[in-house]
Structure 1
Amino acid sequence: MRELMGVYFNVMDGFEIPPQTTQTWTARFAVKPGSEVHLMTSHAHWQNTRFEIFRYDEKDGSLESLYVSTDPLHPKVLRYEEPLRFEEGQGFEVRCTWANQLDVPLRNGDSGLEDEMCIMAAFYTPDAGIAWRYGLKQGTLVE
């Protein structure tokens, strides 16, 4: 490949997991139509037990599983030999599951000891001169 790649860097915010509780939260992020994803990975802290990325399609309501990682210390790095193309109305749905072992609520934050994160990164072409697409979305508790 001899072209510049852009990065979708999507961060879930607004989650709060009560002490000694396991919960799953989700957020959706738009993708520019025509984007072709070549590589995908995740970042979370030690209380994350499952990180999932789906492709949603607003046209038919479908969800396609793209990525699952269950080890936050060694997250999966998924490389596509054939790029994953996104069309109009498609995007990423991120789901993070945490098992809060602390006696305080678990929230988004920088501390690797007392906070958590739910961040996905997807490297894509063409970057159209915008190498960095940052998304911050409020999470929703999955019932």
Structure 2
Amino acid sequence: MENVVALQPKERVRQDAEPIATMYRNLGTSSAEQVVTRALGELALTMAGLASQVRAHEMGDLIRQLRRLQRMAENLGMVSLSIVAGDLRICMDLGDTTAFAAVWARLLRIAERSLSSDKAQLDQLDHTPF
């Protein structure tokens, strides 16, 4: 098996800082931190719930949960996460299980990178006056 190459895709995550910056401008630092932290927590819980549903093959409510994830990601400026959640809904609408598996794996990668980079951005915002 010397000729087998394990591919490790690296996702480029697109984010728009403006929604969070607007929250900081409109709400002030303390309130905006609370809102953003709560929203990121809800987003992480939604992803965990989606993962649990997919593992259990409980697809009945998945489209609604993906739509929720997509809205939450848009509100936080997580462009890539929002787009991929929408792509996964399309896979479900088409009933394409192969595409679903591939896009699901991509959603997991994007979510992981989005959430980890958002934490870093929040740490930076904590020290940036608006």
- TM-score range, shorter-chain basis? under 0.3
Q: Would you tell me which structure has more helix in proportion to its own residues?
A: 2
Higher RCO, Cα 8 Å, sep 6+: 1
- Rg: which structure is higher? 2
Q: Would you tell me which structure has more strand in proportion to its own residues?
A: 1
> Structure 2 length as normaliser, TM-score?
0.27
> Structure 1 length as normaliser, TM-score?
0.25
